[in-house]
Chain A
């Protein structure tokens, strides 16, 4: 991907101003990811939210790291690697996702059915719902959470990389 290089936009040095800056950006990131259905933010790649072509500015790496770290601290995001290159943004918490899945299952009468994880997130039923296009990692986490609550059972499928789920909500 062609990387446009703009002049950097910095974290404000004054503490009070910076805290407000971070607060606003946290909200922006969550909302943006939610509306765009973005689950993973890559710090080293272009991210439309972090660049403004009109004023030709993009957030410095330090600023991006600071904003995402603030989300992580709040439990709304997770670093996928130690060097902070990729961040999983939980604009719904795992618990919220779990609730969404349960509602989805109930709405579509899938209480006792069995399906693969892929079918769950890309299948016909999921179209138009929040479950559609869910990030696999997030989905599996939510499913595991529900498994612990006894709402479903996960099992290995016919192919090694495809797990299945049996609902018993």
Chain B
């Protein structure tokens, strides 16, 4: 792409950003343009319509149009974030956030070079996605930028960063330095306290809203059974919408909203799941029960567990995304996660050779026999055997010993020589095995 002035971002196979050590995701926005100031820098291109991920270290932009096309803005090179203008025009246009970005001499953003302060460009983030969290994003951006997380993880360059930083920091040497450090600590504590109190105020007002909401819901519940049927429909609708607005304003993301505006959540979850699932799949021979994935994934997450519904949605989304895994439902209703490279034919080949062994020709194989040979869980093995049976490879024999499967000899027997003991094919092998 001509004029690519932002450094490319690394993505996983499932299209998720690869995070640096110590880097944590903070926020996600869909449908964002990164628009440099064309008047001052006409050669720089606009990155249109991508998913923006805010992390503690960077702003990562992933193109929605072309897969695997990602760039990032290092927060360390952001020199200034402008306060959003509140104007009449701003109310009707897509929300925008502007910040100043330091450029290297070549006119590009070079993540490895610290800030020179010489060249810079004003960049606008145009947020076109329908969402009410733009203000929240702005707050998070400020917090991430202020936190300077990249300095903590980079002890080697922190000295030079501190030196070239235009911010409040000054070299810490001598008694003056110690005193200054103390002073800074006081100031930051003070600020934190102020913020905390601000938050408390916010909390108080929210609490008030919560009480009102609870009251309203209680009223609605009381009024429910008695609603008039004539205008009941419209009234119901009105109050339902109101309730949703209230829930949103209080900050609770109602399930409906999560569904409509939160397609992004499921998409990202879906991709994250696809990445996670790769290693367990390899260990398990290419196929894992969905329930096991649920346990593994949530255990790995530790907190912010996902519900079974979320898992199901995430797996269903895989069809639409370009990921190397798939979900599959067997006739019996068992749902599994399977890696796309794990082909049925290969498993059938292995089952066939297993079932042609003399012992198997005499007594058949059970799901546990297959599980041991194929290196997969017995429940999975049974699914494979049933699938092989559907294909006409195997026949079943149900006895007090359980399910046993034999190679299907029927295809080799024809009506016109039904009594002929053939001396070729599986038939012959079978005869040899059972008569020995």
Interface residues of A (CB under 8 A from B): 7-10, 12-14, 16-17, 20-21, 23-24, 27-28
Contact = CB atoms under 8 A, between A and B. Distances in A.
Given A14-B390, A27-B415, A28-B418, A21 B400 contact: no
Contacts of A8: 398
A10 B415 contact: no
8 contacts: A7-B399, A9-B397, A10-B396, A13-B389, A17-B389, A20-B411, A21-B410, A28-B418
Nearest to B389: A14
B434 to A, nearest CB: 10
Interface string B388-406: 0110100111111000000
Given A27-B415, A28-B418, A10 B398 contact: yes
A7 B415 contact: no
A7 B410 CA distance: 21
Given A24-B410, A24-B413, A24-B418, A17 B398 contact: no
A28 to B, nearest CB: 7
A115 to B, nearest CB: 38
Contact of A17 (B395, B399, B415): B395
Contacts of A23: 415
Which residue of A16, A17, A21, A23 has the most chain B CB atoms within 10 A of its CB atom? A17
Contact of B410 (A10, A20, A27, A28): A20
For A8, A20, A21, A28, the residue with the greatest tally of chain B CB atoms inside 10 Å of its CB is A20
A17 B408 CA distance: 8
B319 to A, nearest CB: 28
Contacts of B392: 14, 16-17
A13 B332 CA distance: 13
Contact of A12 (B396, B399, B413): B396
Closest A-B pairs by Cβ, 5 of them: A20-B410, A7-B399, A14-B390, A16-B392, A14-B389
Contacts of A7: 399-400
B57 to A, nearest CB: 57
Interface string B364-405: 000000000000000000000000011010011111100000
Contacts of A16: 392
Given A17-B395, A24-B410, 5 more contacts: A10-B398, A14-B392, A17-B408, A20-B410, A20-B411
A14 B395 CA distance: 8
Contacts of A24: 410, 413, 415, 418
A23 B410 CA distance: 10
Nearest to A54: B434
Nearest to A16: B392
B367 to A, nearest CB: 16
A64 B35 CA distance: 78
A124 B187 CA distance: 128
Contacts of A9: 397
B410 A17 contact: yes
Contact of B395 (A12, A27, A28): A12
A33 to B, nearest CB: 15
A91 to B, nearest CB: 15
A92 B292 CA distance: 60
Contacts of B413: 20, 24
Contacts of B411: 20
A20 B392 CA distance: 11
Contacts of B400: 7
Nearest to B413: A24
Nearest to A9: B397
Contacts of B399: 7
B396 to A, nearest CB: 7
Nearest to B415: A27
Contacts of B397: 9-10
A16 B408 CA distance: 11
A8 B396 CA distance: 12
A27 B419 CA distance: 11
A27 B413 CA distance: 12
A165 to B, nearest CB: 37
A74 to B, nearest CB: 13
Contacts of A14: 389-390, 392
